[in-house]
Amino acid sequence: MSTFVLVHGAFRGGWSWRRVRPRLIAAGHDVHTPTLDGTATGLATWVDQVVGLLETEDLDDVVLVGHSQGGVVVREVAVRAPDRLRRLVYLDAAVPDPGERAVDVAPVPPDDALLPPRGTLVPPRPLTAGGDLDEATVAWLNERLVPTPFAPSLDRASTAEATVPATHVFFADTPPAYPCGTTRARLDARGTPYDVLDGGHDAPLTRPDVVADLLLRSAAPRLVVGAPIYRKTPTRGTQ
């Protein structure tokens, strides 16, 4: 049995894993899907919350997954609590470099003078159907999207490198202007391998079988760092 902790992205909650979670449980695994504090005053609030979950539940040998903005959080958790983790999975995630802010992982470097105040709650933009995101899922999502506190995006990542083995996975149909596109471009520049799967940014809801299969493979104890976990050649939307 493996233990998974799945950390959601911006404007979402633990509910965003509801189609993946039962598949992992059915395979005999322990799964935790925390909802990050919607009133967080800084990145440390979220990191403390996830580290607290690991400690309170006495979780070890964890596969820690960060989707989208969740990548910012799980990177810091890995720096804080590496002994409790087996592997990191960055799923279409924005991943700051050491000492960098989440707002810096943007297609265009931000002008600090134009950024909203630290205490801002950023409202979600309603989603529309398209690609693998159907009308029913869009309606379900839009009913649940919540504002995201801006403060965590202004805090710098630790200057330490995370030493936990990590896997980066991207979805072929995610718009290149998303912050995860910056992370992907950096991996290209560094020659760091990653995987690309068919699907859009909300693949945990639109392609749960693919995501669950990916996570089950990532839990394999003999997985070689940097080796492909699961690859399906994208047919569209590649960069």
**Does the pLDDT of residue 239 top 60, yes or no?**
no
Q: For the domain 3-218, what is the CATH code? A: 3.40.50.1820
Confidence class of residue 230 from pLDDT cuts 50, 70 and 90? very low
3-state secondary structure 29-87: CEEECCCCCCCCCCHHHHHHHHHHHHHHCCCCCEEEEEECCHHHHHHHHHHHCHHHEEE
Note the Cα 203 to chain centre separation in Å: 11
Q: What is the pLDDT of residues 25-84, one digit of tens each?
A: 999 999 999 999 999 999 999 999 999 999 999 999 999 999 999 999 999 999 999 999
φ/ψ (deg, to 5) at 169: -135, 135
Among residues 97, 103, 104, 54, the alpha carbon closest in space to that of 77 is found at 54
User: Which residues participate in catalysis according to the annotation?
Assistant: 68
Note the Cα 51 to chain centre separation in Å: 16
Q: What is the pLDDT of residues 173-220, one digit of tens each?
A: 999 889 999 999 999 999 999 999 999 999 999 999 999 999 999 887
- Say how many C-beta atoms besides its own lie within 10 A of residue 179's C-beta: 25
Confidence (pLDDT) at 220: 79
CA pair distance 93, 71, nearest whole angstrom: 5
This prediction has a pTM of 0.91
